[in-house]
Chains A and B, each alone.
Chain A
Amino acid sequence: MASLTGASLNFTSLSSSFRRTQLPLRGISNVKSVSFPSLRMQPGFRVSCMAKPETVDKVCEIVRKQLALPDGSSLTGESKFAELGADSLDTVEIVMGLEEEFGISVEEDSAQSISTVQDAADLIEMLKEKNNA
């Protein structure tokens, strides 16, 4: 598991530096997407793509709005949707908000595996990279 995380960290830093020069990342991102689909099914498995802080912030903003969290209430990457009081309709609304904000499409089984803000941000990064590949 540690080596996978290490590898994906490298992919992310590679991809952010190469994206502008459009070097083909197809090989690397294909490997990433092939290894993960079955793991995605496991509840609680997190793809540590180390989402950018801006992504995490944006997710927090959408969650705050959806759940009408009081100003000043603590909200971090580790915050769990259920513990913030999100029910299933809230979660689906949040996912829809994320889809619209980031131009991605989240499948039902991926949506089910999201339990924290970080999970959502990581999934967004993964889907954005798939879109760009």
Chain B
Amino acid sequence: MNIRCFPRKFSSALPPLVPLQLPSPMETHLWYILPNEVKSVALLNQYSELLSPCERENVNRMGGDQLKKRALLARALVRTTIARYQTNCQMNPRSLKFRKNIYGKPEVEWKNDDNFSPPPLHFNISHTSSMIACGVTVNVPIGIDVEGKQRKIKNDIIAFAQRYFSPCEVKLLTAISDSEIQRQEFIKLWTLKEAYVKALGKGFSAVPFKTFTIRFKASTIRCFHLPGNSVSEASEVIVESSDDPKNLPNNWQFALLEVAASHYVAICTEKDKIVGGEANRPMKLTVRKTIPFVEDVCVSGTDAVLVLGGIIEQ
């Protein structure tokens, strides 16, 4: 498959995008694409038409077809997903503009019209060779990270942890005698730490990995939930400063998931102060597998989404 992105003079008719309701406060929407499921070259070419010239150039610079496809799908996912959330009018995914904040975190650049009030929408993307994911929230920042469960670490895990993780985390990993379990726990920890730094949005040098500890804590929260909703009361995931563990930045909540039996996905969002109530409400989560313009499948509450950490309501 020779994948090349080129602008076409006549856009072939793309089906309209099915509009979406914005997530409610304290709710996270997680979208993911499995690149292996997207095989149609015609569809990929249609996706490339949605990209800005700059994005197309970036895609073309990637080394090899698989990397080009991954980069293309990531942009297509972000553009189509955000365009679908427009409540005022149907937004063209092609016309969305993106920029980076002063720390380099990507965000939407909403147009400055009198009649147009931009939705308080936040997003973050992550991709590996076999999954591209986009998390969406309202009002609060979000960070996500995706890693393949089978990912092998080239360096020695403990040496790596000693170099980059906090002493508490090194201790935890060192205590695991089974090397396979140790590798899995390492990856879970990595995704959680990445998600936290990405949610903070100030770049990696602002919050070096060593300066904070993420760990699991048995949940002592009694959650009230409506019948029919499933609330996973797995361990709560908390973050604390390495130097000053008692001073807990507790305005962040986490989810750690195993998705499609193949990937660890970590999500970090800021707690919405406006919503109020008890500080520890579950994170409402809706997970959808998608192929833009083709299908959405809601997989929340199915085997495709296993909650490994965090107080999550699906």
Contact = CB atoms under 8 A, between A and B. Distances in A.
A112 B163 contact: no
B84 to A, nearest CB: 26
A83 interface: yes
A5 interface: no
Interface in B58-81: 61-64, 66-67, 70
Contacts of B290: none
A109 B70 CA distance: 27
A97 B63 contact: no
B313 interface: no
Interface string B103-146: 01000000000000000000000011100000000000000000
A74 B154 CA distance: 22
Contacts of B160: 93, 96
B134 to A, nearest CB: 16
Contacts of B154: 65-66, 93, 97
Interface residues of B, number: 26
A112 B209 CA distance: 13
B204 A108 contact: yes
A74 to B, nearest CB: 8
Interface residues of A, number: 23
Contacts of A80: 61
Contact of B205 (A83, A93, A108): A108
Interface of B: 61-64, 66-67, 70, 104, 127-129, 147, 151, 153-155, 159-160, 163-164, 190, 194, 203-205, 208
10 nearest CB pairs, A to B: A109-B205, A108-B205, A85-B67, A108-B208, A83-B61, A83-B62, A96-B155, A112-B205, A93-B154, A84-B63
Interface of A: 43, 65-66, 73-74, 79-80, 83-85, 87-89, 92-93, 96-97, 99, 107-109, 111-112
15 contacts: A43-B104, A83-B63, A84-B67, A85-B66, A85-B67, A87-B128, A88-B204, A89-B190, A93-B153, A93-B160, A96-B160, A97-B154, A108-B204, A108-B208, A111-B205
